[in-house]
Amino acid sequence: MDIYFAPMEGMTSPLLRRTHAACFGGCEKYYSPFISTNEAISLNGKESEDVDHEQNKGLNLIPQIISNSAYQSALYIKLLSEKYGYDEVNINLGCPSGTVVSKGKGSGMLRDPEAMDAYLGSLGEELEKLSGQGIKIPKVSIKTRIGFYEPGEHIRITRILKAHPAYQVTVHPRTRKQMYCGDVNPDAFAHMYDELRSAGIGVVYNGDIKRPEDFERIAERFPELDAVMIGRGLLADPSLARRIKGGEAATASEYIDYMERILDGYIDKIGVEKFILAKMKDLCNFMKPVFSGNDKGFKDMCKADSVEAFRVCMKQYIRNSKMYEV
């Protein structure tokens, strides 16, 4: 079963993805954070860099878009195929952020199943038109949730997904209301897994895989998954995919090497100390679940007010904490 590195806006930059692949590996695909479509049908500097092949050398990167317009979506899919050379594009129907939802995008689509049905129907037509013009259309995959307000909404969502079959659907088994907290709902996921697979649609599980045991549990119950997608678990433990595949857990030295490569990459790229520190401290908040017994070290790292002080505190924190004992 494959392992995909989830898209995480602000966190999974090309630098982090490349460094992860070079230091630990184990992921068959990496996803870019979403690109929001607009009338210009072009990517801004950051988006363009995010999907640029030079920036993602050696990675199997899948770009992701988010939209409420089938017309714009089709043209972005065409752009990502023709100009950037991608043969798969992922559509985000799950982002829970208020600004996204208020525009009827991301999980905003799940609040209005008729709009979701119309969007996917029109997208299919737009893509067919492009294909009729001899344009090569990439595979379309979807990332979604089990509902907006209530888990029971997954029945209707599944019906709509089956009516407009994507090549693969990733399901995060929480509602939008839950954001990224509270219990996942494996039973709602089980229904979607059975129904989507019976329609020939590949299924990917995403949510709360933090240790190899979490993966084992999911793989045992859902053996025909195409893949599992992991986000926070891989930010905390970059060796998680390797461990799942039978490899070793990261040592403290390996972890330090990984963090220093990312730090040095941001020093080169960003240049401004306070922005470099902000990026690194965001990452530190995600790495916390792997380390224990060193609250003071964590506080010192978060208080560091220069890049070099941060480097020293980060190394001390990793060396002087317990790893994998949480």
Ligand X SMILES: Cc1cc2nc3c(=O)[nH]c(=O)nc-3n(C[C@H](O)[C@H](O)[C@H](O)COP(=O)(O)O)c2cc1C
217 binds ligand X (CB under 6 A): no
Q: Does residue 64 bind ligand X (CB under 6 A)? A: yes
**Candidate residues 30, 34, 86, 193; the one interacting with ligand X per rule CB under 6 A:** 34
Residue 249 CB, nearest approach to ligand X (Å): 18
Stretch that binds ligand X, among 7-15, 47-55, 213-221, 271-279 (CB under 6 A): 7-15
Q: Does 145 bind ligand X (CB under 6 A)?
A: no
- Compute the radius of gyration of the chain from its Cα atoms: 20
With CB under 6 A as the contact rule, the residue among 209, 240, 259, 276 that binds ligand X is 209
As given in the structure block, the two tokens for residue 55 are: 């920036």
- Give buried/exposed letters for 24-42 (b at 16+ CB in 10 A, else e): bbbbebbbbbbbbbeeeee
- Contact flag: residue 78 with ligand X (CB under 6 A): no
Q: How far apart are CA 232 and CA 11, in angstroms?
A: 10
Q: Which is nearer to ligand X, 256 or 287 (CB)?
A: 287
* Sequence-ordered list of residues with C-beta below 8 angstroms from that of 262, at least 6 positions apart, any chain: 15, 16, 19, 280, 283
| Minimum separation from the CB atom of position 104 to ligand X (A) | 16
In terms of CB distance, is 26 or 231 closer to ligand X? Answer: 231
Number of Cα atoms under 13 Å in the Cβ half of residue 231: 18
Residue choice 142, 171, 204, 230 for contact with ligand X (CB under 6 A): 230
Q: Which stretch binds ligand X (CB under 6 A): 67-75, 76-84, 202-210, 241-249?
A: 202-210
* Smallest gap from residue 306 Cβ to ligand X (A): 26
* Residue 9 in contact with ligand X, rule: CB under 6 A: yes
Polymer length in residues for the chain: 326
Least separation in angstroms between CB 323 and ligand X? 20
Q: Estimate to the nearest angstrom the gap between the alpha carbon of 257 and the chain centroid.
A: 23
**In this complex, which beta carbon is closest to ligand X, that of residue 14 or of residue 231?**
231
Task: Report if residue 238 touches ligand X, rule: CB under 6 A.
Answer: no
Q: What are phi and psi of 202, to 5 degrees?
A: -70, 145
Nearest to 93 by CA among 106, 81, 112: 106
Size of residue set near ligand X by CB under 6 A? 23
Contact 209, 218 (CB under 8 A): yes
Residue pair 84/47 in contact by the 8 Å Cβ criterion: no
189: which strand partners? none
| Chain contacts with ligand X (rule: CB under 6 A) | 6-11, 33-34, 64, 92, 94-95, 143, 172, 180, 206-209, 230-233
